[in-house]
């Protein structure tokens, strides 16, 4: 008998150790994106810190920055947007999130409301297989972080048709055990709770710009969806759910390079919002809200500067239309202040130096550093409409086009502390420029020689260096307050706008 008892105890201990080992392996091999995205959500929701939830697709992830919203308006929010998420997925995302918190407002974006299929793993009959696979993979971002529950099972069953694939969301080790061969440091860091996580409260800012003309389709306000779609139904469900719970709803259509079906969706969304009596902001229709050449990182997604504009717009709307508390200065929200500081530091770092000159120049519009830009008269960049557009966007004037048109050298200084912007074309001189570096003077002498010096130190020329005679673009950045020089970038723009990091 005693032997039997010992055997039972030994077996139990063994099974416990085996289970603990397997659990550890599951934690390590799990794809961390969902965990990273939602870690702060669970923490902030637990503290009842979230006044606004944003739901929608990647347009929301890249278009709304809760850190800016807090920094500029004191509104605490979380970006629960999911890559490729349809409104049906957003609905379930919201339902799961409401299990953890009760926000004062939910902002729902209606991109892809034209999609009229039930299951992400089936889509339409003629949808290519790789699209379905991508959708199945993207849904993991929304699902993985949430523990197994009746709600999660219901969500998975409603979103995914194939039972085999359903299991992949309920027991994701089925998918992730294969990651053993690609594990990184961060995978193991999760065991100690010190792994990286999303520091923008769910948002992802796209800083890098890629050249595209991002043309906009002409907006026809009468074009509407020809049928009642599955996604439209779920928009209604989202509004119903919020209204039932006494949560304010704001329906949006964030801007991008929209096509015809997007315009139809936007117009139909307006009808749904009107029927429910909820506010609707259709940014597709707002000409001039964003600059497609700099505020879109690709035709579908906002860049960080675009996100800043859109977030500002939403922040203003809340200030005027909702009674949301300003949490700035509240000690219990001090981690938000720290995240703001970190984000500002990141933007500043990109403004000072980035792999792509165009990205750096665009980021300078966010004002985290002051800058001096010089282009030689034969600079290829000066003849590039995109590059000159970015410069013009930075200064807010058309003087760079003048230099471009006449093949003349161009100088620009933008001093954030004083708000002064100085520009010179051809052989124009500028004296006594007031900057946080001190009083400065710019004197172009000849094609390959120009002077930029502190009035107090004429010996030190900032814009000349024998080692960089071939480079036609120079960017100097300096600290807004102290005037300390932060970086001096040289670039030969005939090759590309890429610089050595």
The token pair that represents 35 in the structure block: 């965990």
CA–CA separation, 154 and 195 (whole Å): 30
- DSSP code, position 498: B
21 counts as binding another protein under rule CB under 8 A: yes
Residues facing 414 on adjacent strands: 371, 421
- Contacts (Cβ under 8 Å, ≥6 apart) of 192: none
Q: Closest distance between another protein and the C-beta of residue 96, in Å?
A: 23
Tokens of residue 382, six digits: 């000066």
Pick one of 25, 236, 417, 454: the residue that binds another protein (CB under 8 A): 25
Residue placing its CB nearer to another protein in the complex, 178 or 316: 178
Nearer to another protein, 18 or 445 (CB): 18
- Of 128, 129, 181, 467, the one binding another protein (CB under 8 A) is 181
Which residue, among 458, 499, 399, has the nearest Cα to 412 in the 3D structure?
399
143 binds another protein (CB under 8 A): no
Total residues found in the chain within this entry? 501
Q: Directed axis angle between helix 230-244 and helix 260-276, to 10°?
A: 30
Report in angstroms how near the CB of residue 32 gets to another protein at its nearest: 17
Q: Is 134 in the site for another protein (CB under 8 A)?
A: no
- Taking the complex as a whole, the smallest distance from the CB of residue 197 to another protein amounts, in Å, to 24
Binding of another protein at residue 130 (CB under 8 A)? no
Least separation, in Å, of the C-beta of 180 and another protein? 5
438-467 residues in contact with another protein (CB under 8 A) are none
The angle formed by the CA atoms of residues 185, 190 and 194, to the nearest 5 degrees, is: 85
Q: Residue 322 and residue 324: Cα distance in Å, rounded?
A: 6
* Interface with another protein (CB under 8 A), residue from 127, 149, 178, 397: 178
- Asked if residue 138 binds another protein (CB under 8 A), the reply is no
Q: How far is the CB of 2 from another protein (least distance, A)?
A: 14
Of 27 and 95, the one with the shorter C-beta distance to another protein is: 27
Helix, strand and coil in the chain, % to nearest 5: 45, 15, 35
User: Under a CB-based contact definition with an 8 Å cutoff, are residues 17 and 302 in contact?
Assistant: no
SS3 301: strand
Query: Which x/- pattern over 239-258 shows residues binding another protein (rule: CB under 8 A)?
Result: --------------------
Sole binder of another protein in the list 125, 126, 130, 182 (CB under 8 A):
182
CB of 25 to another protein, least distance (A): 5
Q: How far is the CB of 169 from another protein (least distance, A)?
A: 11
d(CA 294, CA 393) in angstroms, rounded, equals 8
459: Cβ contacts below 8 Å, ≥ 6 apart: 453
Q: Which is nearer to another protein, 153 or 469 (CB)?
A: 153
Figure out which of the listed residues 9, 22, 148, 485 binds another protein, where binding follows CB under 8 A.
22
* Interatomic CA distance for residues 195 and 496, integer angstroms: 36
Separation CA 10–CA 241 (nearest Å): 51
Helix (H, G, I), strand (E, B) or coil at 477: strand
Shortest distance, position 18 Cβ to another protein, whole Å:
5
Q: Choose one: 17-25, 116-124, 360-368, 448-456; the region binding another protein (CB under 8 A).
A: 17-25
Distance CA 478, CA 420 (A): 14
In angstroms, the CA 410 to CA 379 distance is 10
Q: Does 340 bind another protein (CB under 8 A)?
A: no
Residue 194 CB, nearest approach to another protein (Å): 23
Task: Copy the structure tokens of residue 283.
Answer: 């940014």
Cβ closest to another protein, residue 178 vs residue 494: 178
Residues contacting another protein: total by CB under 8 A: 19
Core vs surface per residue 198-221: b (16+ CB within 10 A) or e? bbbbbbbbbbbbeeeebebeeeee
Q: How far is Cα 349 from Cα 93, in angstroms, rounded to an integer?
A: 34
Backbone angles phi, psi at 411, to 5 degrees: -130, 140
Cα-based angle 480, 484, 485 (whole degrees, multiple of 5): 100
Q: How far is the CB of 28 from another protein (least distance, A)?
A: 9
Task: Give the pair of three-digit tokens for residue 436.
Answer: 């946080």
Q: How far is the CB of 135 from another protein (least distance, A)?
A: 14
- Using the minimum distance from each CB to another protein, give the nearer residue, 121 or 262: 121
Alpha-carbon distance 369 to 344, whole Å? 10
Min dist CB 357 to another protein, Å, is 35
Q: Of 164 and 244, which has the nearer Cβ to another protein?
A: 164
Q: Which of 177, 194, 355, 447 is the binder for another protein (CB under 8 A)?
A: 177
Nearest CA-CA partner of 232 in 117, 98, 61: 117
Binding segment for another protein (CB under 8 A), chosen from 20-28, 151-159, 188-196, 217-225, is 20-28
| C-beta closer to another protein: residue 178 or 275 | 178
CB closer to another protein out of 181 and 332: 181
Verify binding: residue 34, another protein, rule CB under 8 A: no
Choice between 175 and 307, CB closer to another protein? 175
Give, as ranges, the residues between 156 and 175 that touch another protein (CB under 8 A). Answer: 164-165, 168, 174-175
Residues that bind another protein (CB under 8 A): 7, 10, 14, 17-18, 21-22, 25, 29, 164-165, 168, 174-175, 177-178, 180-182
């Amino acid at each position: 008998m005693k032997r039997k008892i010992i055997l039972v105890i030994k077996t139990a201990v063994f099974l416990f150790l085996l289970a603990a080992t397997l659990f550890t392996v599951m934690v390590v091999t799990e794809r961390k994106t969902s965990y990273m995205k939602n870690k702060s959500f669970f923490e902030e929701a637990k503290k009842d810190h979230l006044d606004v939830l944003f739901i929608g697709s990647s347009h929301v992830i890249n278009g709304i920055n809760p850190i800016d919203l807090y920094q500029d308006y004191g509104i605490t929010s979380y970006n629960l947007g999911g890559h490729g998420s349809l409104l049906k997925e957003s609905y379930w995302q919201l339902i799961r999130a409401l299990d953890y918190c009760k926000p004062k407002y939910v902002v729902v974006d209606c991109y892809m409301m034209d999609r009229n299929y039930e299951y992400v793993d089936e889509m339409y009959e003629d949808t290519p297989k790789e699209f379905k696979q991508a959708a199945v993979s993207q849904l993991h971002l929304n699902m993985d972080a949430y523990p197994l529950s009746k709600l999660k099972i219901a969500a998975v069953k409603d979103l995914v048709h194939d039972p085999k694939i359903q299991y992949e969301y309920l027991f994701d080790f089925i998918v992730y055990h294969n990651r053993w061969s690609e594990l990184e440091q961060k995978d193991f860091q999760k065991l100690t709770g010190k792994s990286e996580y999303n520091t923008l409260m769910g948002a992802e800012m796209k800083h890098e710009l890629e050249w595209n003309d991002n043309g906009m389709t002409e907006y026809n306000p009468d074009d509407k969806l020809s049928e009642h779609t599955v996604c439209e139904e779920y928009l209604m469900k989202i509004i119903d759910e919020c209204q039932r719970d006494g949560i304010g709803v704001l329906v949006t259509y964030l801007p991008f390079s929209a096509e015809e079906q997007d315009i139809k969706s936007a117009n139909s969304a307006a009808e749904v919002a009107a029927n429910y009596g909820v506010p609707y902001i259709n940014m597709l229709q707002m000409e001039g809200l964003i600059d497609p050449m700099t505020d879109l990182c690709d035709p579908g997604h906002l860049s960080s500067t675009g996100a800043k504009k859109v977030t500002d717009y939403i922040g203003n709307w809340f200030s005027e239309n909702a009674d949301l508390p300003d949490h700035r200065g509240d000690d219990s929200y001090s981690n938000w202040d720290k995240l703001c500081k970190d984000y500002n530091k990141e933007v500043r770092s990109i403004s000072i130096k980035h792999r792509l000159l165009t990205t750096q120049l665009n980021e300078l519009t966010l004002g985290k550093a002051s800058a001096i830009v010089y282009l030689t008269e034969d600079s290829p960049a000066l003849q590039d409409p995109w590059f000159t557009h970015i410069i013009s966007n930075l200064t807010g004037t058309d003087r760079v086009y003048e230099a471009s048109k006449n093949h003349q050298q161009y100088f620009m200084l933008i001093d954030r502390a004083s708000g002064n912007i100085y520009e010179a074309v051809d052989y124009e001189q500028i004296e006594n420029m007031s900057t946080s570096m001190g009083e400065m003077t710019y004197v172009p002498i000849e094609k390959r020689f120009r002077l930029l010096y502190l009035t107090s130190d004429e010996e030190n020329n900032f814009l000349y260096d024998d080692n960089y005679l071939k480079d036609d673009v120079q960017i100097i950045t300096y600290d807004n307050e102290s005037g300390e020089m932060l970086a001096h970038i040289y670039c030969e723009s005939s090759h590309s706008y890429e610089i050595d990091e």
